[in-house]
């Protein structure tokens, strides 16, 4: 479902979701989570969509929570219900991104701050514009990193570097994000969306079920022991080996031709 503030366009098996509040650097008020969740749900269900790209309109990827829409800060000791808000909006969004068994690529076109950084981290891969920056921002305003940042960031760059980024809220350049593997690729600003879409389109031509099961398995591997994972891999392999794409992949190999995967 496309709306003015969450725009969706599809081509070559890739759904591109654009966060479209450029005047606020694509900062979100809470209700926009529902619209983004709807767009993701639709892309997940649509068999023609085999990969997703998420990007921002204008000069930012996303500046996190819309601080101007945060409402009155209550007197000390009273709750403003941020826990409930996170559990009902941000958390389901992050879990959905991780459970969609299709590649999701963030085209980080500019600054990714606060929950905008977290959103990029929850995607599978990040293609960043050379002008893009990443800042955790939360500690700077007296909050803690949320939306999965405390889960994904230590995994990607280690606890020490993650803590340093959190405590300083300093801005990390795209180039500096490349070396530790926080971003997959850094490209000129003008080609960041096309670059992410090309990467997504290449994945969309892949053996879709196997790609999705691989995402599921890798996520599981983050919290499982080796024995459990070996067993889980065997289960996933059984599922993959029953697909049309597996038959096509082996036939293409034997016939020395490129495979024509359908995602089935
Ligand atoms: O609700 C909850 O449960 C809490 C959850 C919180 C999750 C979070 O995301 S907390 C972290 C929130 N985000 C931030 O703290 C980042 C705030 N923004 C910035 O630090 C800077 O704007 C940037 C580093 C992102 C970019 O700096 P710069 O110099 O390039 O741009 P700017 O001039 O600061 O911003 C341009 C406009 O965007 C400006 O509007 P104006 O004054 O021209 O009308 C600015 O106010 C607006 N903007 C930027 N970030 C936000 C924002 N408006 C609302 N909310 C924002 N987060």
Specify the pLDDT at position 99. 97
Q: CA 81, CA 193: separation in Å to the nearest integer?
A: 36
Assess whether pLDDT exceeds 90 at residue 28.
no
Specify the pLDDT at position 245. 97
Ligand 1 atom closest to 65 (CA):
9
Chain segment 60-74, per-residue pLDDT in tens = 999 999 988 887 899
Chain segment 36-54, per-residue pLDDT in tens = 999 999 999 999 999 999 9
How do beta strands 6-11 and 14-19 pair?
A: antiparallel
Q: CA 136, CA 64: separation in Å to the nearest integer?
A: 9
Q: Extract the tokens encoding 134.
A: 């990443």
Q: How confident is the model at residue 233 (pLDDT cuts 50, 70, 90)?
A: very high
Report whether residue 156 contacts ligand 1, using a CB cutoff of 6 Å.
no
- Summarize the confidence of residues 90-110 as an average pLDDT: 97
Give the distance (Å) from ligand 1 centre to CA of residue 146.
16
Against a cut of 0.85, is the pTM above it?
Answer: yes
Give the distance (Å) from ligand 1 centre to CA of residue 25.
7
Assess whether pLDDT exceeds 70 at residue 2.
no
**Could you tell me if residue 71 is left (phi over 0), alpha (psi between -120 and 50 degrees) or otherwise beta?**
left
Q: Which residue is closest in CA terms to ligand 1's atom 52?
A: 24
Lowest pLDDT segment from 13-27, 63-77, 94-108, 248-262:
63-77
State the chain's mean pLDDT as an integer. Answer: 96
Specify the pLDDT at position 71. 79
């Amino acid at each position: 479902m496309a709306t003015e503030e969450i725009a969706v366009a599809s081509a070559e098996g890739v759904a591109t979701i654009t966060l479209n509040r450029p005047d606020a650097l694509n900062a979100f008020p809470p209700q926009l989570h529902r619209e983004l969740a709807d767009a993701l749900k639709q892309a997940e269900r649509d068999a023609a969509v085999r990969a997703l790209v998420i990007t921002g309109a204008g000069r930012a990827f996303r500046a996190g929570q819309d601080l101007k829409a945060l409402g009155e800060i209550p007197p000390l000791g009273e709750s403003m219900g941020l826990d409930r808000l996170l559990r009902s909006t941000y958390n389901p969004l992050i879990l959905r991104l991780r459970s969609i068994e299709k590649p999701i690529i963030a085209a980080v076109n500019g600054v990714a701050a606060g929950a905008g950084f977290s959103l990029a981290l929850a995607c599978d891969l990040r293609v960043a514009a050379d002008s893009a920056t990443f800042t955790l921002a939360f500690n700077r305003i007296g909050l803690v990193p949320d939306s999965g940042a405390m889960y994904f960031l230590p995994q990607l760059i280690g606890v020490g570097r993650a803590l340093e980024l959190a405590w300083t809220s300093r801005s990390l350049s795209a180039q500096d994000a490349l070396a530790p593997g926080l971003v997959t690729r850094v490209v000129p600003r003008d080609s960041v969306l096309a670059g992410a879409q090309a990467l997504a389109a290449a994945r969309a031509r892949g053996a879709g079920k196997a790609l999705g099961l691989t995402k599921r398995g890798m996520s599981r591997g983050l919290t499982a022991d080796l024995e459990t994972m070996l067993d889980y891999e065997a289960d996933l392999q059984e599922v993959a080996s029953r697909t049309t794409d597996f038959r096509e992949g082996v036939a293409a190999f034997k016939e020395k031709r490129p495979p024509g995967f359908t995602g089935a």
